Amino acid sequence: MAESADFDAVVVGAGPAGSSAALALARAGRSVVMVERGPFPGSKNVYGGVVYGRVLDDIIPAWWSEVPVERWVVRRSTMMMTEDQSLAIDYRSHAWGVAPYNGMTTVRSHFDSWLAGKATEAGARLVTSTVATGLVRDGTGRVIGVRTDRDGAELHAPVVIACDGVNSLLAKEAGLLPHAEASHYTLGVKEVLDLPAEVINDRFGVRGHEGVDIEILGCTRGIPGGGFLYTNAETVSIGVVASLPHLSDSKVRPEELIADLKAHPSIAPLLRGATLREYAAHLIPEGGYDTMPPLATDGMLVAGDSAAMTLAAGLWLEGVNFAIGSGYAAGRAADRAVTAGDCSARGLASYRADLEHQFVLADHKRLRKAPALVLSERIQQRYPGLLCDLAEGMFTVTNPSPKAGGLRITRAAAAKHGVKLRELAADTLRGLRIFG
């Protein structure tokens, strides 16, 4: 790489946010470079869920015909469990298994490389195995580029788009990201287990490229968080997401939580004979809308995890689609600013305005109170057992005794788990207000 290079924009990070930003800029005819610290896009990235592709419809038409998919998710299950019980709400849709599909499982190294390839095909330049070590500023303090670990070489541009992930070093240096509060983060850990495709199909009740996504509550020993299990082509991924400070205080290692989940009587039969392929961990920003940093400063934008754009709302844990949406919007805003010759924070303000009218910030804003509810003590520690006991009471045949009424069973289950009926009613109403 040359000692200095000039572009219309420098994008730091070739994950979904960075590649989408570079794609938007390249399509607009801008000279743009992506700086990726890994040897290839996706080599450093981890995620523990499903990619929802609707955001790609307008960016890459018929994307589903070429994306490197593992399985199309046709069955979604939300499971609550205790040590020896489980209660699941299970939904299956034939429509999710045909184009344009709803969600998919994919390997990040494959998906990220595919999306970065779209950006380079459009004209973006990709520089791998390179770390952006800091910002370059002019005499007024405006960001005008980045410094790299390639003998201090610099890349200059009127706009830098920081997509360097959670706890972004560039966003911190720019003064956009405040001191990290541990309570706003969770640690996601997962194991990828080998299982033959035909075994996966048989045990999960699917066929061909159909897949299953199971989200789980009550599997983290009372630590705020949850678990997941989803199917890939010839592997399954299982893991937990746990509150960072509570996990630290508990002295419980995350792999112990995964071991608990794998041994649960509702999960163990699904994994019988599976062998470990890999283990991975990833920090997740779950503070939501109220913890997002400013999205622009003079000469710089932030997108994706760098801007805390992971939607953690109980029913949904999404990140990749928000990264794509925010990255593409950042690229378009940078193009407008370069065209106008104004790359100040004011000239880049259309970025946030666009996101406010799109799902990216609209969903975060509407669900801003969801993390507090989902991670609350009653939801995490009491309701899984309460609901499992309620189901057991309803479905247990008590002959020759008469069947108990639903209200009586509810009262007994609530009392057993220390929940007052008025608290149950209040939390139900609160949930309806948030998710309604």
Domain boundaries, the chain: 4-44+107-178+293-367, 71-105+181-290, 376-435
Name the pLDDT band for 2 (thresholds 50, 70, 90). very low
Residue in 108, 8, 99, 117 with CA at minimum distance from that of residue 61: 99
The average pLDDT across 77-93 equals 96
Task: List pLDDT tens digits, range 56-75.
Answer: 999 999 999 999 999 999 99
Task: List pLDDT tens digits, range 302-336.
Answer: 999 999 898 887 767 888 999 999 999 999 999 99
Reduce the secondary structure of 264-332 to three states and give it as a string: CCCCHHHHCCCEEEEEEEEEEECCCHHHCCCCEECCEEECHHHHCCCEECCCCEECHHHHHHHHHHHHH
State how far the Cα of 340 lies from the Cα of 31, in Å rounded to an integer: 16
The average pLDDT across 202-225 equals 95
Q: How far is CA 13 from CA 21, 68, 293, in A?
A: 10, 20, 18
Task: List pLDDT tens digits, range 108-144.
Answer: 889 999 999 999 999 999 999 999 999 999 999 999 9
Task: List pLDDT tens digits, range 327-370.
Answer: 999 999 999 999 999 999 999 999 999 999 999 999 999 999 88
Per CATH, 4-44+107-178+293-367 and 71-105+181-290 having the same topology is answered no
The average pLDDT across 390-397 equals 94
Residue 87 in 3-state DSSP?
strand
Helix%, strand%, coil% for the chain, nearest 5: 40, 25, 35
State how far the Cα of 284 lies from the Cα of 145, in Å rounded to an integer: 27
State how far the Cα of 209 lies from the Cα of 218, in Å rounded to an integer: 30
In the sheet with 143-148, reading across from the earlier edge strand, the strands are: 4-6, 154-156, 143-148, 132-137
Kind plus residue range of the DSSP H or E element containing 187: strand 185-194
pLDDT of residue 5: 54
Name the pLDDT band for 178 (thresholds 50, 70, 90). confident
Task: List pLDDT tens digits, range 189-208.
Answer: 999 999 999 999 999 999 99
Structure tokens that stand for 85 in this block: 């019980």
Percent of the chain past pLDDT 90, that is, above it, reads 81
The average pLDDT across 145-158 equals 94
pLDDT of residue 49: 67
Task: List pLDDT tens digits, range 245-295.
Answer: 999 999 999 999 999 999 999 999 999 999 999 998 888 888 888 889 999
Residue 377 in 3-state DSSP?
helix
State how far the Cα of 406 lies from the Cα of 383, in Å rounded to an integer: 17
The average pLDDT across 234-255 equals 94
User: Quick one: residue 129, left, alpha or beta (phi over 0 = left, psi -120 to 50 = alpha)?
Assistant: left
pLDDT of residue 50: 84
Checking DSSP bridges between strand 125-127 and strand 32-35, what pairing results, if any? parallel
pLDDT of residue 1: 44
Instruction: Return the axis-axis angle of helices 320-340 and 16-27, rounded to nearest 10°.
Output: 30
Residue 398 has pLDDT above 90, yes or no: no
pLDDT of residue 286: 82
Percent of the chain past pLDDT 70, that is, above it, reads 97
The average pLDDT across 230-244 equals 94
CATH class, 4-44+107-178+293-367 region:
alpha beta
Task: List pLDDT tens digits, range 8-30.
Answer: 999 999 999 999 999 999 999 99
- Cα 194–196–197 angle (5° rounding)? 120
CATH number 3.30.9.90 given to 71-105+181-290? yes
Residue 45 has pLDDT above 80, yes or no: no
- Tokens 């960016």 correspond to what residue? 59
